[in-house]
Structure 1
């Protein structure tokens, strides 16, 4: 199977890029009623919610990445991915082939986070 990448932009309007970490699972949600972009796809991270949008402009789509317009008709209402790179206010996400991979990665991230918080601080 071919690997596809998208870029998350607009992070500065939400939480910035600070919460975006390599290996973090994301959910892509179509926004057909978006007044600014008919092909808008929001990017959500649990438990924060919306952290940005899939880039959809020639000025914001990095080389090698798909635009929101290019993937819009290939997904139903949702798609899933995992952050592979983060730089400045942009993150590059590898699209996952199915929801099961997303759930598996999400569970692993949750378990790792839970363990970190349970460790005693000295």
Structure 2
């Protein structure tokens, strides 16, 4: 599953983006503009943007925040695969990739999550079986 990340933080611009960088996806159900908003955070920078959720901002072939919303828990992770101008395309980690990241003590998942045990891998596995 691929997603489009847009609306970069004006303080950092696209500076935090790096190929294969880990992005934490955090649901924001109380977001005043979009009830299906999913914020994107990176180590050292905090919130850098959002998963695109508009037909004008979602890159063709990627999943909108609305389509992704029920496929992940309150937080999950993706890895940046492409950076084009002011847009990043990230791949949502498979359960196996997530476990690999947890096993790597240097992975940014350890610095971005307060409690890795609360990640619902069963929900993620079901999401990948459906795609």
TM-score, normalised via structure 2 length:
0.74
Aligned with 1:53 (options 50, 67, 84): 50
Q: Distance in 2 between matches of 1:41 and 1:102?
A: 21
Shift of 1:87: 1.0
Q: What is aligned with 2:73?
A: 76
Deviating 4+ runs (over 3 angstroms): 101-106
| 3-state secondary structure, aligned to 2:106 | helix
The answer for unaligned runs of 5 or more in structure 2 is: 109-131
Q: Using a 3 Å threshold, how does the CA distance of structure 1 residues 88 and 74 change in structure 2: closer, same or farther?
A: same
- State the partner residue of 2:128: none
Structure 1: unaligned runs, 5 residues or longer? 110-122
TM value normalised by structure 1: 0.79
Q: Give the aligned partner of residue 8 of structure 1.
A: 5
Residue from 17, 32, 35 that aligns with 2:32: 35
In the comparison of the two structures, how many residue pairs are matched?
A: 106
**Which is greater in Rg?**
1
Does residue 1:107 correspond to 2:88, yes or no?
no
> SS of 1:47's equivalent?
coil
RMSD of equivalent CA atoms: 1.8
The answer to whether the 8 A contact 1:6-1:95 is kept is yes
Q: Deviations over 1:49-82 (max 9, x none)?
A: 1000000000000000000000101111011110
